[in-house]
Structure 1
Amino acid sequence: MKTTQPLFLIQLQHRLSSEKAALTEQLAQWLVLGKIIDSNGRLEKVEGERMEQVDLETFKDELNQTNWQEALPVTYFYHAEKVEASLTCVDNRFTQRFLLKKVDFYKEAFLIEDYLQKQLANNGIQAFIRPYEEYLSSNIADLSLRDSFDLSHQSLRLMRNDEQEKIVDCSLLPGYDVVTPQRLYTSCWKMWYTTEYFQDIPKQAFLDVQAVHNVTACDDGTLIITLYKDPLSWSHPYNIKSQQLFRFQLGFDQFMNNNGVGLLRDPYTEFMQFKNQRQMLQYQNRYLQPCPKKDAKHFTLRIFDSARGFYQEVRHFGQLNVYAFFPFLEAKQERAVAYHQIVPDFTLDEALSVYKYYIQYYLEVYDILETKPTQELVLIFYIPEANQLTLPIEALQRLLAKKDLRWVRELAPYEYTVISHQKQLKVHFRPSHQFETDQLLWTLPTEKTSKEPEIKKNWLERLSEALNNNKKRS
């Protein structure tokens, strides 16, 4: 679609329907909408490496005859002057996409939103509408492809892919799509989240989200969230901040796979599975606004089990303890442990900036603790064994020295102590394959220890009980 106009991307995801006739009708509506927008188009089918043009009757026959539960990945395309549309089936999930010029989108906006709402009512998962340029800016990692779309990458964090090519680390960008086997989590102009998402994030957390233009609850349970009023002003700093804050509040980063280069930012929300319930802990400042974990003075704890329809919410002012940041114990050594899995080959500087960030981060934990830790605090970097043998220790020492941090080598190989005034942090570099073995030796701080007799449960369990007790007293 060649145009100088802004484009809009509409995307819808839904699952297979158990009723064949209903599913066939639902899929056929994709082409109906495309033809309503522009009837003069052509239909193509791509399956594997084979592409062929199909007519309307063939399309209808294939919808009726295909066993979608066993079908190979297939995509249908509808090409027209006013719309580019695609319908893809992969892993029993359908994705519908429409790309329209600004003038055509605004002309058909009511029809499109009504279409999305009705489609979502039938095994729908999620839908969104967003400016195409905004989508590309947050989701294209390839540098040459970004250049072809005139998307700058000069100020963005770069990393390397498996082929050692430089790419943008899109995981840090405000509109990045976090794709899991079950769902897609994104932040953009207008979004539809169905009840399926409430298995991972409670509905009330969506309803309570701050710094958005509007949240609408539909009769079928779907939530429609509009981040800001004018979609074409998506690049305004306030709108970018709103887009970023939306994903932070709901903890979308927690659903991402580790890309090996570290996220390098403090969470606003964390999740934990406790017994048969899921817990969501949101961090807020003294004004009850979302904030990074280290700045938190207020906590909103949401305990939920969507299968049983259970939901409990407790809010409380307080202070995090050391186990909020070092959540594991190496019992024999009486050490509190935090860890990160890093692949230095995916970074541009042998992971120096990653090591520096996390070392500084965990040293700063001392500054916010009411009770100073009596156990040793250990930060473990798990890295491939080949990288362990070529650690840039001298370069890291020089980097830390600029921050007035002193680096002391311990007796054991690849083990060091970083000292800053009265603060000490053990830093260990271990081979990646050792991670699973180490995990078996770790425990949560659930039992009394000689040095921390008051610690009986892991930090989130203790916070949950404290907040519940506070609620009962009030």
Structure 2
Amino acid sequence: MDAKQRLYSLSQLHHLEQNDLQVILTDWLIISRLLFEPDEMIINGVEQPFKQNELKQLLIDCRINDDVWVQLKNKYEETSIHLLGDTLLEKSILQKHTFEYWEVVYLDYLNQRLEKFGSFAYLRSYEEYLFHNTSDLSDRRIFESAEETQELPKMKGLNGDLTVDCNTFPGYDVFYKGVCLTSCWRIFLGRHYQKLFAKPLLLEIQQVESVNEVGSGIWFELYKDPFQWNEPANLKFQQLFRDQLGISQLAYTNGVGTLRQPYIEFAFDDTIVQTVQYQNDQFQPIEKSQASYFVTRTYDFLTNHYQVNRMKGGLNALAYFPWIDDDSERMMNYRVLYPELTLDKGLRAFEYYIRSSIEYEIQDMRYQDYTAILQLFIPKHAFLDFPTEELKKRLKDMTIHQISRKNDSLTFSLEKEGKHLMVYFIDQKKVAAKNRLDVLEN
């Protein structure tokens, strides 16, 4: 069966109690039998013919803190549950006509579970999931030609093999602080996600089909038809949702990030989450450099204290250099990069972060005489084949006053249109136990 004719559903329940567990497992078996006729079942990795009474007894015997994995499947459809401790992960792949026939019943089934125990859930086209999350070149042959794969952005995997860079896709699943972050047709974010995003921020997400509270969590529907995911407008909504949550700012797997301006930025301090959202004159989300309104939120998820402030203005020095040392008149920003995962030794990323730190406009003139510093932390082995000459060519519109190189550091002194920037490439291990500003060499 073609992947584009199927729907992929995933949900995670947590903080289950024993009495609740029996109801949840029984309901799963009932809805599974309602949706399709399984041919076989796989219990903790052992395949066997489907036997409902045997499976029913196994589910009755399940206890909190057990580790049990059960899958039901036939040629076209499947569903599974994994009980681990007090957490239950459920996945289903359903044919399009099955989902559309039972949609109201199935969504009600999910909502009842998520309302009380929901941590995370999503529903999406299986084709969309595969397209946005399959990095292996040979695995992509299932749904696209080699010529189509050739046109996609690439990176190196951890073993050095060439792979597709899925970080550039709007529906790529990444993980940050133990939770999944993604963008797709329907997404549920439970209470735990409020350690990253204040609830009012989530409720004010723009340009989506609907936003609804369910229990302590929130359901988002980005567009109407999951099987029309590859329509340009729907891909745009999917990307904008990802941008508004700052997913690419929080987590990426290509070593350097997506090299795109943020729509939101974060600062974390123990139990406090601070965010700055960038908006235009119509209060719509927009890239940082184009912003005219700034929405600052501070949320303490331990005390539930919340503050929000929207102000009109322009970007100041802190927007580009969050660490400012008034005593030495220096202002600094930094990035931790892994150029070995790129195909160009990190060259494009180096240029992007340098230009972002020197090609800016700020209204606050207080810091015009401060030394601007960009620290790029890279592994020591990256200095062995550092693209110095290639980087100089990329920065040919800047004046390079000085280049200083040592075994575990490289320094560029740059100037463009009256702005000066000191760029330090530093061995990641060298600064592990030091203050980021103090480590700089004068």
TM-score by length of 2: 0.90
Match of 1:194 among 190, 215, 227: 190
Give the structure 2 partner of residue 461 of structure 1: none
Q: Distance in 2 between matches of 1:415 and 1:97?
A: 50
The answer as to 2:305 corresponding to 1:306 is: no
Give the structure 2 partner of residue 405 of structure 1: 398
Q: Residues 99 and 68 (structure 1 numbering): CA distance in 2 closer, same or farther, change over 3 Å?
A: same
Match of 1:22 among 7, 17, 20: 20
3-state SS, counterpart of residue 432 of structure 2? helix
Counterpart amino acid of residue 27 in structure 1:
L
Deviating more after overlay: 372-381 vs 60-69: 60-69
Contact kept? 1:37, 1:83, Cα under 8 Å: no
Q: Distance in 2 between matches of 1:212 and 1:196?
A: 22
Give the structure 1 partner of residue 259 of structure 2: 264
Deviating more after overlay: 7-16 vs 150-159: 150-159
Quote the sequence identity (%). Answer: 30
C-alpha deviation, 1:310, in angstroms: 2.4
Contact kept? 1:82, 1:104, Cα under 8 Å: no
Contact kept? 1:187, 1:243, Cα under 8 Å: yes
C-alpha deviation, 1:249, in angstroms: 1.1
The answer as to 2:154 corresponding to 1:158 is: yes
Q: Residues 416 and 290 (structure 1 numbering): CA distance in 2 closer, same or farther, change over 3 Å?
A: same
Contact kept? 2:293, 2:312, Cα under 8 Å: yes
Q: Distance in 2 between matches of 1:54 and 1:234?
A: 34
Match of 2:124 among 105, 130, 133: 130
Q: Residues 249 and 4 (structure 1 numbering): CA distance in 2 closer, same or farther, change over 3 Å?
A: closer
Q: Distance in 1 between matches of 2:181 and 2:253?
A: 16
The answer as to 2:423 corresponding to 1:423 is: no
Give the structure 1 partner of residue 342 of structure 2: 347
Give the structure 2 partner of residue 84 of structure 1: 78
Counterpart amino acid of residue 191 in structure 2:
T
Q: Residues 5 and 411 (structure 1 numbering): CA distance in 2 closer, same or farther, change over 3 Å?
A: closer
The answer as to 2:102 corresponding to 1:108 is: yes
C-alpha deviation, 1:150, in angstroms: 1.4
Match of 1:327 among 322, 337, 344: 322
Contact kept? 1:43, 1:54, Cα under 8 Å: yes
C-alpha deviation, 1:338, in angstroms: 1.3
Counterpart amino acid of residue 278 in structure 2:
Y
3-state SS, counterpart of residue 97 of structure 2? helix
Q: Residues 441 and 399 (structure 1 numbering): CA distance in 2 closer, same or farther, change over 3 Å?
A: closer
Give the structure 2 partner of residue 144 of structure 1: 138
3-state SS, counterpart of residue 197 of structure 1? helix
Match of 1:238 among 211, 233, 241: 233
Q: Distance in 2 between matches of 1:23 and 1:39?
A: 24
C-alpha deviation, 1:393, in angstroms: 0.5
Q: Distance in 2 between matches of 1:38 and 1:105?
A: 10
3-state SS, counterpart of residue 430 of structure 1? strand
Q: Distance in 1 between matches of 2:76 and 2:344?
A: 46
Contact kept? 2:400, 2:413, Cα under 8 Å: yes
Q: Distance in 1 between matches of 2:404 and 2:182?
A: 47
Give the structure 1 partner of residue 279 of structure 2: 284
Counterpart amino acid of residue 344 in structure 2:
D
| 1:235-260 residue CA offsets vs partner (Å, 9 max, x unmatched) | 11111111111121122234315642
Counterpart amino acid of residue 402 in structure 2:
R
Q: Distance in 2 between matches of 1:277 and 1:384?
A: 31
Q: Residues 330 and 32 (structure 1 numbering): CA distance in 2 closer, same or farther, change over 3 Å?
A: same
| 1:122-156 residue CA offsets vs partner (Å, 9 max, x unmatched) | 32112221111111111111111112221743443
Give the structure 1 partner of residue 31 of structure 2: 33
TM-score by length of 1: 0.84
Q: Residues 306 and 382 (structure 1 numbering): CA distance in 2 closer, same or farther, change over 3 Å?
A: closer
Give the structure 2 partner of residue 469 of structure 1: none
3-state SS, counterpart of residue 172 of structure 2? coil
Q: Distance in 2 between matches of 1:199 and 1:5?
A: 35
Counterpart amino acid of residue 398 in structure 2:
L
Counterpart amino acid of residue 435 in structure 1:
V
Counterpart amino acid of residue 132 in structure 1:
Y
Match of 2:58 among 62, 69, 72: 62
Q: Residues 394 and 418 (structure 1 numbering): CA distance in 2 closer, same or farther, change over 3 Å?
A: same
Give the structure 2 partner of residue 337 of structure 1: 332
Q: Residues 4 and 353 (structure 1 numbering): CA distance in 2 closer, same or farther, change over 3 Å?
A: closer
3-state SS, counterpart of residue 303 of structure 2? coil
Contact kept? 2:81, 2:89, Cα under 8 Å: yes
C-alpha deviation, 1:94, in angstroms: 2.1
Q: Distance in 2 between matches of 1:405 and 1:91?
A: 57
Contact kept? 2:248, 2:257, Cα under 8 Å: no
Contact kept? 2:21, 2:64, Cα under 8 Å: no
Q: Distance in 1 between matches of 2:375 and 2:436?
A: 15
Q: Distance in 1 between matches of 2:179 and 2:27?
A: 23
Q: Distance in 1 between matches of 2:325 and 2:85?
A: 41
3-state SS, counterpart of residue 39 of structure 1? coil
3-state SS, counterpart of residue 116 of structure 2? coil
| 1:431-459 residue CA offsets vs partner (Å, 9 max, x unmatched) | 1102323436569xxxxxxxxxxxxxxxx
C-alpha deviation, 1:109, in angstroms: 0.6
Contact kept? 1:176, 1:186, Cα under 8 Å: yes
C-alpha deviation, 1:16, in angstroms: 4.3
3-state SS, counterpart of residue 118 of structure 1? helix
Q: Distance in 2 between matches of 1:399 and 1:364?
A: 14
Counterpart amino acid of residue 156 in structure 1:
L
Counterpart amino acid of residue 266 in structure 2:
F
Counterpart amino acid of residue 214 in structure 1:
S
Q: Distance in 2 between matches of 1:202 and 1:64?
A: 39
Contact kept? 1:17, 1:122, Cα under 8 Å: no
Match of 1:315 among 310, 315, 338: 310
Give the structure 1 partner of residue 435 of structure 2: 439
